[in-house]
Amino acid sequence: MSKDDLIRVDGKVSDLTGGGNYVVLLDNGVTVSARLSGKMKKFKIKVLVGDRVTVGVSPYDPSHGLITHRQKAG
């Protein structure tokens, strides 16, 4: 499945777990486990607790996601 097939949902990082996994509380109230996308790792974009992010969620497994974008803080 390509990155274009994912459903994009905004949310807020609520917790950091080990191994590069994040717990993200989405705007619709659902909590998902998410990882950073490859481009974010490549360009060393840091994501901290409290950051607003865009998560790509698979329609087949909505409990896991891929963090594709971090919103600006202002």
**Burial class for 25, CB neighbours closer than 10 Å (0-12, 13-18, 19+):** middle
Give the pLDDT score at 34: 98
Query: What digits encode the pLDDT tens for the residues 8-64?
Result: 999 999 999 988 899 999 999 999 999 999 999 999 999 999 999 999 999 999 999
Give the pLDDT score at 74: 58
Please tell me the distance from the alpha carbon of residue 73 to that of residue 28, in angstroms, as a whole number: 21
CATH of the structural domain 3-70, one choice from 3.40.50.300, 3.40.50.1000, 2.40.50.140, 1.10.760.10: 2.40.50.140
Cβ neighbours of residue 4 closer than 8 Å, sequence gap 6 or more: none
pTM recorded for the entire structure: 0.90
